[in-house]
Amino acid sequence: MSTGAIIAIVIAAVIVLALVMWLGKRSRDRAHETRRHEAREIRREAEVHGAEADQLKAEADERAARARREEAEARQQAVRAEEQRREAEHRHARAHDIDPDTKGDYDPSDERRSIGERDADPDLVREEQRRRERADR
């Protein structure tokens, strides 16, 4: 083989090797860009999910705060109702003490509920009916 042919083969081999390396690098670069794009999409979705999670958390916190406020208001209302009930019992007892027509048969547990409350509770209505039936006999 002549020196010119060997040089041509070596140059061709170097060119083919450079072409293979360039094509490999280009393929890797495309794969990296595809993965970068996929990572950007995943990050964007994660941001959206994070924002939704923050909003849900804020709504849950707000709902819990509202429930705590309502519970506190309910406790306050129960305290006021108990105070009013005691005041009503006190007034019933006072009226009974003052009334010259009472027979000394005042029962605070019976006077404790108003007629409307007794009518609203079916058990109390039945109890009241039985008591009246016994009294009629």
Residue 99 structure tokens:
């009334």
pLDDT at 115: 46
Q: Is residue 102 scored above 90 in pLDDT?
A: no
In this predicted model, what pLDDT tens digit does every residue of 32-78 receive, in sequence order? 999 999 999 999 999 999 999 999 999 999 999 999 999 999 999 99
pLDDT exceeds cutoff 90 at 25? yes
**Vertex 78: Cα angle to 77 and 80 (nearest 5):** 65
Predicted structure pTM score: 0.46
**What are the residue ranges spanned by the domains of the chain?**
3-98
Give the residue from 128, 109, 110 showing the smallest Cα distance to 119: 128
**Amino acid at site 95:** A
Over residues 104-121, the pLDDT tens digits come to 666 666 644 444 444 457
Sign for the CA dihedral angle at 83, 116, 128, 137 comes to positive
